[in-house]
Amino acid sequence: MPFEFATAQRIVFGEGALCDVPAAAFSLGRRALLVTGATAERAAPLAEALRAKGVTAVPYALTGGEPTIDAVREATALARGESCEMTIALGGGSAIDAAKAVAALLANPGDPLDYLEVIGQGRPLVNASAPFIAIPTTAGTGSEVTRNAVLASPERRVKASLRSAGMLPRLAVVDPALTYSLPRAATAASGLDAITQLIEPYVSVRANPMADLFCVEGLKSARTALERAWRNGADREARAAMSWASLLGGLALANAGLGAVHGLAAPLGGMFDAPHGAVCAALLPHATAANVRALRERNPDGPALGRYAEIARLLTGNPQAEAEDAAPWLAGLARRLEIRPLGSYGVRAEDFPTVAAQAAKANSMKSNPTVLSDGEIQEILALAL
């Protein structure tokens, strides 16, 4: 089967890997935009280490949660005004996506809307991004090895992506020690996002043998590690296992696509003030059940149903498990991790038609293993409410 595989130019994984960043940054330039989440002070030791190595770090704190188009405009203007040659992200998926977008815009003229999918002109990013170093502090998004950045447009109540192979980071540094202080709710939401990103590429219509390896290994790693990390954030082995699973999920999704969970999460995240990982966590058991049911009815002999059976065996540890056993296991995990329903973020039944219509057009939905009807999509939303 022909396929393409692309990822970050260099990946460094392991406890203490953060120490590699100053020397790597120095090899790329002398001035960097350092993008963080709202708690910018946690980046102070890195900024000092960069300064000691000869790299000036210009701080930019992403204070509004997920990155908006306006925030990226502001950060890009700051980077240009400060003559930054590169960007560095220290944070969750939002900080990484913001820094990734800025790096792309530093190398390509114009506004984010010139290049954004769906709501923008969708022009290709002709030039490879400025150098970009991604350092995740959560274990879930895998954004440190993906080729797109998701930006929110609050006035349009949608999210859209900048996307190009040229946006892949020069360096991804995955240091599990950075996740030790992650709160329980964020551990649960980001961890279930990671599991989603290991399941969806495995059953995707774009699945390929190389991504399959990452999905299987990641699910084996996350199966027990997520709940252990949630119960005891100081469990170093569990934290490392989830960082590993998250990285593998990012590698898989960037090269094999996603599915219905992310297809629905995109409009929900644009319409409501709901964290991406939490939305995915609420949707995952129900989307899994809907896909398995639809495949059983409409394509029982296709490869995806057998892949769901393999997922069920990996998750449950039962070698006799069938495809239908995956969703109950995921639902049980979500309950134990105290995942909030969509209704807690303001989603209501009257929103379902709009969400379903937008989800049907989402890029992620194109890789779902079967085409779900409007009724099936709305049933997923109803069960997650």
**pLDDT, tens digit, 9 for 90 and up, residues 41-61:** 889 999 999 999 999 999 999
> Average pLDDT of the chain?
96
Residues 83, 80: Cα–Cα separation, whole Å: 5
Whether 54 and 160 share a structural domain: yes
**Residue 201: inside a domain, yes or no?**
yes
% of residues, the chain, pLDDT over 90: 93
> Does residue 192 have a pLDDT over 90?
yes
Any idea what the CATH number is for the domain that residue 131 is in?
3.40.50.1970
pLDDT for 14 equals: 97
- Residue 105 shares a structural domain with residue 31: yes
Residue-number span of the structural domain to which 159 is assigned: 10-178
Evaluate whether residue 349 is within a structural domain.
yes
Q: What is the pLDDT of residue 2?
A: 83
Which residues on adjacent β-strands are paired with residue 61?
36
Mean pLDDT, residues 245-256: 98
In the predicted structure, residue 1 carries a pLDDT above the cut 80: no
Range with lowest mean pLDDT among 37-46, 123-132, 259-268, 376-385: 37-46
Domain boundary among 136, 155, 178: 178
Task: Say yes or no to pLDDT of 87 above 80.
Answer: yes
Distance between CA atoms of residues 329 and 321, nearest Å:
11
What are the two backbone dihedrals, phi and then psi, of residue 150, each rounded to the nearest 5 degrees?
-95, 125
pLDDT in the model for residue 298: 96
Within 10 angstroms of residue 23's Cβ, the number of other Cβ atoms is: 13
Residues 6+ apart with CB under 8 A from 193: 140, 141, 276, 277, 280, 281
Q: What is the pLDDT of residue 187?
A: 98
**Residues 344 and 247 occupy one common structural domain:** yes
- What three-state secondary structure class fits 95? helix
pLDDT of residue 118 exceeding 90: no
Flag whether 263 is in a domain.
yes
Same domain, 108 and 256: no
Q: Find the CATH number of the domain harbouring 301.
A: 1.20.1090.10
Phi, psi of 255 (to 5 degrees): -120, -5
The structure tokens 């406890």 sit at 15
State residue 64's pLDDT score.
77
Residue 234 lies in a domain: yes
Specify if 202 maps to a domain.
yes
Instruction: For residues 227-235, give the mean pLDDT.
Output: 97
End position of a domain, from candidates 148, 178, 208? 178
Largest CA distance in the chain: 62
- The pLDDT assigned to 66 comes to 84
39: pLDDT strictly greater than 90: no
How far is it, in rounded angstroms, from Cα 323 to Cα 316? Answer: 11
Residues 255 and 166: their CA atoms lie apart, in Å, by 14
Query: What is the predicted pLDDT for the residue at 38?
Result: 82
Domain boundary among 178, 200, 220: 178
101 and 171 fall within a common domain: yes
- Residues 158, 233, single domain; the answer is no
The answer on pLDDT for 201 being more than 80 is yes
Q: Give percent above pLDDT 70 in the chain.
A: 100
Scanning the structure block, which residue is given the tokens 């190389």?
A: 210
On whether both 148 and 286 belong to a single domain, the answer is no
330 and 368 inside one domain: yes
For residues 165 and 272, membership in a common domain is answered with no
Domain annotation covers residue 2 = no
Q: What integer is the mean pLDDT of 58-78?
A: 94
pLDDT above 90 for 4: no
- List helix spans (H) across 299-351: 303-316, 326-336
Q: What mean pLDDT comes out for the span 52-72?
A: 94
Show the tokens assigned to 128.
Answer: 């490879």
Spatial contact of 13 and 174, defined as CB atoms under 8 Å apart? yes
Residue 55 is assigned to a structural domain of this protein: yes
State residue 63's pLDDT score: 86
Q: For the segment 308-359, what is each residue's pLDDT rounded down to a tens digit?
A: 999 999 999 999 999 999 999 999 999 999 999 999 999 999 999 999 999 9
Q: Are residues 130 and 213 in the same domain?
A: no
Whole-angstrom CA distances from 33 to 150, 250, 301 are 19, 24, 51
Number of domains in the chain: 2
How many whole angstroms separate alpha carbon 374 and alpha carbon 360?
8
The answer to whether position 1 is within a domain reads no
**Band of pLDDT at residue 40, cut at 50, 70 and 90:** confident
Q: Are 169 and 149 in contact (CB under 8 A)?
A: no
Integer Cα distance of 320 and 309 in angstroms: 9
- Which residue shows structure tokens 């100053």? 22
294 and 174 fall within a common domain: no
Distance from C-alpha of 282 to C-alpha of 292, rounded to nearest angstrom: 17
| Same-domain status, 130 and 275 | no
Return the number of other C-beta atoms located less than 10 Å from residue 5's C-beta: 13
pLDDT value at residue 138: 96
Lowest-confidence region among 2-6, 193-197, 203-207: 2-6
